[in-house]
Chains A and B, each alone.
Chain A
Amino acid sequence: MKKELGIFILLIVLCIVVSIINPNFLLAINLQNLARQIGAFGIFSIGLGLVIITGGIELSVGSMMALLGVLLSMMLTQWDYPVAVAVLACIGLAMVLSLGHGLLITRLNMQPFIVTLCGLLFYRGAARFISNDETKGFGTVAGLDFLRYLANDNLFGVLPMPFVLLLIIAAITWVVLHRSVYGRYLFATGRNPEAARYAGIDTKNIVTLTYVISGALTAISGIIFAFYTNSVSPANHGNAYELYGIAAAVLGGCSLRGGEGSVVGIIIGTALLQVLRNLVNLLGIPSSLDFAVMGAVILIGVMADQIFTDRRNRRQVALMREMSAGEVQSN
């Protein structure tokens, strides 16, 4: 809980500073835009966070979005699939591909980094090949109103739909991660897979299932992004999005060692990243510095957290030593 609080304070301070320097930050249109971005990035970041809690990693997110985006466009505009079928096919394909990742990792003991790195390369290539490396869009095809509404409209004219979707998905995953049996098993597996196995947990299935969930969330985000940008350039679409997700999860308190993290933290981490991108715009920082600013803030955030954690641990160890010293003397 403390971890989330620290990063939340950082987020608030950042927002205050930006709005003082440039009050445009607080304009409804800016805030809505920001919320839309947070929604679209947050959904897949939650999935990535879950994978990170298993002690794994998922690098293929961005490429997978490009592949799904291209396929979605082709299904809807070229092959005339019904909307519902196309959407389900996208989500289904993402889940099947991620199931493959999970199985390779748990059954063949391959390293998550390698498996998903290959995914990153493979899906990008597949997207470009299938589309003949041409940018795909949705043109003026009818019947896509609902998907456009999901990506671009606001609920009650106020709340951007991607943000609303994020809140719904976050609520569900919060319950699953922090209140359900699966969530507990996930933390146990991520923290100490050996002990989890000795407790009778089917750790392989837990990990595999987590990749599948991540795939489904990636697909949902991917559909939103496709309709938000309204055109999918197979070579660039979703480039480096996995890194946004990893950064958000780590900022939000997920440990790459596994077994640590929370849904709330991941969302705050995502929000922080998007505020940073927004800040670069509003403060007139050259947009070429975009990534440099993000890199610096993530580094400082994670460093501060590490320093605090170490200090807390040292204090605890010192306390235990004092206690045991007293015990020895009384013996």
Chain B
Amino acid sequence: MNNIPLLEMEGIGKRFPGVVALDQVNLSVGAGEIVALIGENGAGKSTLMRILGGAIARNDGTIKVEGKPVEINSPREASALGIEFIHQELSVLDNLDVAANIFLRREPTKGGFLKLIDRGRIYREADVFVKKLGLDISSRTLLSRLSIAQQQLVEIARALSAGARMIIMDEPTSSLTLTETRRLLEIVRDLKSHNVSVIYISHRLHEVEEIADRAVVLRDGRNAGELARSEINRQSMVRMMVGRDLKDLFKGAAPEGQSAANGRDGSAGAGFEVRRLRTLRYPKHTVSFSVAHGEVLGFAGLVGAGRSEIARAIFGVEGSLEMDVTLDGKQLRVKVPQDAITQGIYLIPEDRRLCGLIVDFNVRENISLPNLESYSSAKIINYGKETKAALEACKAINIKTPTPEMRAANLSGGNQQKVVLAKWLTFSPKVLIFDEPTRGIDVGAKAEIYQLIRNLAANGVSVIVISSEMEEVLGISDRIAVMHEGRLTGILQRSQFSEEAVMRLATGTEG
């Protein structure tokens, strides 16, 4: 390996409106080196990689490739420098075949100005890459007929055919099975042996242990440290990823012992209970759990573990194969959201802008939407009543907006989330399900949301909080249910809470 690293990113800074996403971040990668980029959600990994991939512009810092400063303003420019990005969400076109995907935008042509695709060559060359990656398929196969893992390999083939010297992989194994993961890790090692560098982003620490030459840890948009090959182990990584003083975020939000939960758990049948739930995504696994009045049950797990599917099934927006829901001993039938709503079960969905809000509606219209009938007489909306309710809601949970007539799109993420919550608080909720309640929300608003969640629990509401942020589930929950690939792998009592315990259950690694 020569002395000049393939890639150096120095003093990278990125500010989004109201948030500093990256602050003086450094990252260097040598030729043929596998560097793991790790950190919790929101630590800035994706932002850093999007800057490198040319998807967004940085505010500060320099990027050098082989010692020469470069500007990367688009994915195309990144590609020209030999930097290719394999996204967590696959970006293949599944209506086209393997060869078409591999050579997209670089199709070999013939026929001069007619620019006909050289069909002979495209399939011949594509087959070479397909074989190189150990794929046992023809390059004429439609992408839609391949498994996710195979589609991902096609993406890697595309990167290689573009002459990639460095491949960024963002959570490449998040939707792969164990064997597929093994296979992918082998390919990553193989890339290394061909002198291709890999930046490997993953939450799955054992994968990092297995393949990384070096691990770069980010925390809250800053470098938290680096681990050399010999230092990489689970404890050191977790310590570096977490070591923070965000604990005071939960000041006042932390549950007061277990009395609330356990005290009422004793009276059998009280609270919310779900039994034998089988979702469409994971039809083979049944999930059962219960939440007492006044209890906050956290749901931890990796992305795609099947937690949101459970929430959507309970709320009736998504069908389920089997489900047995009781509230205070009473059996409920939930087929559509209206059923859940009339029973006092509400969902604050994961995707705020798509499912939680109508962003073009103003705050008043959003808050009143599910409860419109009660502000109307003879189906005609009474604007006075509606406005009054919206104003009260804004005041009750401190929604910062100059007027309820403000378009929801113009509010900050935290205030938008409060509007979603306000929709349900105009009823009297019995069960509230929060799916990633603080995603994309700044720290101040986070603390407020935690406080609101604890207040709701204190008023006897059964609360479920699905969260991929470790300190969030640990901080807010009375108990934590952990899921792994559709299975409920364990429920932790407060005395058993630790990152290690959650991680072990979430990754499905026993012992």
Binding site for B on A (CB under 8 A): 175, 179-182, 184-185, 187-188, 191-192, 194-202, 259, 316, 320-321, 323-325, 327-328, 331
A184 near B336: Cβ-Cβ < 8 Å: no
The number of chain B residues with a CB under 8 A from chain A is 32
B365 near A184: Cβ-Cβ < 8 Å: yes
Which B residues are in CB contact (< 8 Å) with A199? Answer: 337, 369-370, 423
Q: How far is the CB of B356 from chain A (nearest CB, A)?
A: 7
Pairs A–B under 8 Å by Cβ, sample size 18: A175-B380, A180-B376, A181-B373, A181-B380, A188-B369, A194-B355, A195-B357, A195-B358, A196-B369, A198-B356, A200-B341, A202-B336, A202-B338, A316-B410, A320-B17, A323-B17, A327-B17, A327-B18
**With contact pairs A191-B360, A328-B15 given, residues A200 and B370 touching in the complex (Cβ less than 8 Å):** yes
In the complex, which residues 344-377 of chain B have their Cβ closer than 8 Å to any Cβ of chain A?
347, 349, 354-361, 365, 369-370, 372-373, 376
The complex places the Cα of A200 from the Cα of B380 at a distance, in Å, of 19
**With contact pairs A188-B369, A199-B370 given, residues A181 and B355 touching in the complex (Cβ less than 8 Å):** no
B20 within 8 A of A: yes
A324 near B337: Cβ-Cβ < 8 Å: no
B354 near A195: Cβ-Cβ < 8 Å: yes
B317 within 8 A of A: yes
B379 within 8 A of A: yes
Majority-rule SS of A interface residues: helix
A192 near B381: Cβ-Cβ < 8 Å: no
The complex places the Cα of A306 from the Cα of B380 at a distance, in Å, of 32
Name A259's contact: one of B340, B360, B372, B379 (CB within 8 Å). B360
B369 near A201: Cβ-Cβ < 8 Å: yes
The complex places the Cα of A191 from the Cα of B355 at a distance, in Å, of 12
Which A residues are in CB contact (< 8 Å) with B15? Answer: 328
In the complex, which residues 409-439 of chain B have their Cβ closer than 8 Å to any Cβ of chain A?
410, 423
A198 near B380: Cβ-Cβ < 8 Å: no
Query: Which of the listed residues A187, A197, A198, A259 has the most CB atoms from chain B within 10 Å of its own CB?
Result: A198
A192 near B358: Cβ-Cβ < 8 Å: yes
**With contact pairs A192-B354, A196-B358, A259-B360 given, residues A328 and B17 touching in the complex (Cβ less than 8 Å):** yes
The complex places the Cα of A181 from the Cα of B360 at a distance, in Å, of 18
A198 near B349: Cβ-Cβ < 8 Å: yes
Query: Which of the listed residues B336, B340, B369 has the most CB atoms from chain A within 10 Å of its own CB?
Result: B369
B370 near A195: Cβ-Cβ < 8 Å: no
B381 near A180: Cβ-Cβ < 8 Å: yes
Which residue of the partner chain A has the closest CB to B383?
A: A179
The complex places the Cα of A323 from the Cα of B360 at a distance, in Å, of 20
The complex places the Cα of A194 from the Cα of B352 at a distance, in Å, of 11
Question: Assuming A192-B358, A320-B17, what are 20 further A-B pairs, CB within 8 angstroms?
Answer: A180-B379, A181-B376, A181-B381, A184-B365, A188-B369, A191-B361, A197-B317, A197-B337, A198-B355, A199-B337, A199-B369, A199-B423, A202-B336, A259-B358, A259-B360, A316-B410, A324-B18, A327-B17, A328-B18, A331-B20
A181 near B379: Cβ-Cβ < 8 Å: yes
Query: Which of the listed residues A175, A184, A323 has the most CB atoms from chain B within 10 Å of its own CB?
Result: A184
Q: How far is the CB of A28 from chain B (nearest CB, A)?
A: 38
Complex interface bits, B1-45 against A, C-beta within 8 A gives 1, otherwise 0: 000000000000001011010000000000000000000000000
